[in-house]
Amino acid sequence: MNLPIRPISEAEWPAFVAVLEEAFASTFHPVQVERFKALTPFNRTLAAFDGDLPVGVTAIFDFDMTLPGGARLPVAGVTAVGVLPSHRRRGILNGLMRKQLNDIKEHGESIAVLYASEAGIYGRFGYGRAADSVFYRIPRHGSAFVKNAPTDPSLRLRTALPAQARAEFEQVFDAISGSRPGIYTRSPARWDSLLADEEFDRGDDGRLRCMLAEDDGGVRGYALFKIKRSFTDHDVFDGEVRLIELFAVDPAAYAALWRSVLDRDLCSRVYAWNRPVDDPITHLLAEPRHLNAGTLDELWARVVDLPAALVARAYAAPAEVVIEIAEDDVCPWNEGRWRLATAKGTCERTEDEPDLTLPIQVLGAAYFGGRPLTTYADAGLVTEHRPGALLELSTAMAWDPKPWAGLVF
Ligand SMILES: CC(C)(COP(=O)(O)OP(=O)(O)OC[C@H]1O[C@@H](n2cnc3c(N)ncnc32)[C@H](O)[C@@H]1OP(=O)(O)O)[C@@H](O)C(=O)NCCC(=O)NCCS
């Protein structure tokens, strides 16, 4: 479908939101629409128009994302992707994604990232599954910690209203945000949206709650959560703590905050739905089977400007390899052979024979350090031409801790 695609004007904002309300079967409160507007740069929206009407939309949030090694890179956070049900499967998403990736290149970002509503959508546009998240449902009766779990008598827990603890949340978040690839900077509007707690934000889980861990020197961590109040058939309290996020600057504060939600009176379990795959809680539970863990794809990443992206991150070991991207029809400027020399910090076009041939999606998946290239070779998706090159690049690109963005955008 060959419809004109362009950014929307402010006057077209209600029609842009109307597409998303239909596409996601959502009903937004006007206040939520205003919050979303505060987050959205209009010049980075796109809509496909059928006459005067937007029928397919997308937008970009710009923020800085932590890379392996701790540098923060400006990235394009792709969001608000939707096509009206009346216009689906006619190529509108395809047109939007291609135009958007061209715009991102022109804007100077070398990486695009997104959260996908369905994992099958974005591979065709060159995105790779770069990070996973884990969800747990931990029953209170199975939540005992190992005997040597850290404790610190100087730590105190404090209940507060989240809106009044925002400065402390920001302080903890700023302290940890450089430590894990994938975590991205939060604008004031992003914090507003995370801490939004009007009646219409609450759903069935009641109001937003928090616990702070602190000592005489100040805050050391926080847990942000809701509590779904419920009862068994015999009228026994059976509440569920629904953990939204938990960050701490040290292991004792981390353990104390987890204990505070696991031991919450009148609650039978903690449901934590977006945790990193290497979450230390997995080592603290004496019986980790009670984590009842499951995994989902989290962040998707797309290499938009290959040499710029590859020199921006740090590597876990030195590597010098010629990478071949045989085909990238969405971002054809990435095609060809590239010599990455991590010790020199260079990535340059070359005509030399390739050491490895890999799809652009696999490079995106490996970019933040969470996906060993070796496993893609086992799947037959990466071809090694020089023996040893696969392990060399796979080892160099792997990173600890594992990537995780932590907050859906
Ligand atoms: C997902 C959505 C944006 C697709 O829009 P669309 O205009 O129908 O997509 P297109 O016609 O451009 O399809 C492009 C390609 O993607 C495929 N595709 C589209 N939606 C897909 C899906 N949900 N799962 C897998 N493949 C999908 C199409 O089959 C087509 O494949 P092809 O290139 O092999 O022919 C639209 O269905 C939608 O708005 N869904 C609900 C909201 C949503 O999930 N948005 C994504 C948020 S991350």
Q: Where are the chain's structural domains?
A: 5-109, 133-295, 306-358+370-397
Cα–Cα distance measured from residue 116 to residue 60, given in angstroms and rounded to the nearest whole number:
14
Q: How many CA atoms lie within 13 A of 5 on its CB side?
A: 22
Whether residue 1 has pLDDT greater than 80: no
Calculate the average pLDDT of the chain: 97
Which pLDDT does position 35 carry in this prediction? 96
Give the CATH fold of the 5-109 domain: Aminopeptidase (3.40.630)
Which of 21, 60, 61, 83 maximizes ligand 1 atoms within 8 Å of its Cβ, making it the mutation to test the pocket?
83
pLDDT in tens, 257-286: 999 999 999 999 999 999 999 999 999 999
Integer angstrom CA distances of residue 374 from 307, 358, 363, 397: 21, 11, 12, 11
Decide: 175 in ligand 1 pocket, CB within 6 A. no
Do residues 45 and 69 make contact, with C-beta atoms less than 8 angstroms apart? Answer: no
Give the pLDDT band of residue 337 (cuts 50, 70, 90). very high
Whether residue 178 is annotated as binding a ligand: the answer is: no
Do residues 184 and 257 make contact, with C-beta atoms less than 8 angstroms apart? Answer: no
Give the CATH fold of the 133-295 domain: Aminopeptidase (3.40.630)
Burial 57-82 (b: 16+ CB within 10 A, else e): bbbbbbbebbbbeeebbebbbbbbbb
Cα–Cα distance measured from residue 377 to residue 365, given in angstroms and rounded to the nearest whole number:
13
Catalytic annotation, pick one of 16, 61, 122, 169: 122
Equal CATH topology for 5-109 and 133-295: yes
Distance linking the first and last C-alpha atoms of the chain: 28
Decide: 130 in ligand 1 pocket, CB within 6 A. no
Relative to beta strand 209-215, strand 156-160 is antiparallel
Find residue 138's DSSP bridge partners. 270
pLDDT in tens, 360-405: 999 999 999 999 999 999 999 999 999 999 999 999 999 999 999 9
Do residues 134 and 402 make contact, with C-beta atoms less than 8 angstroms apart? Answer: no
Architecture of domain 306-358+370-397 in CATH? 2-Layer Sandwich (3.30)
In what side-by-side order are the strands of the sheet with 72-83? 5-6, 45-50, 53-66, 72-83, 111-115, 299-303, 128-129
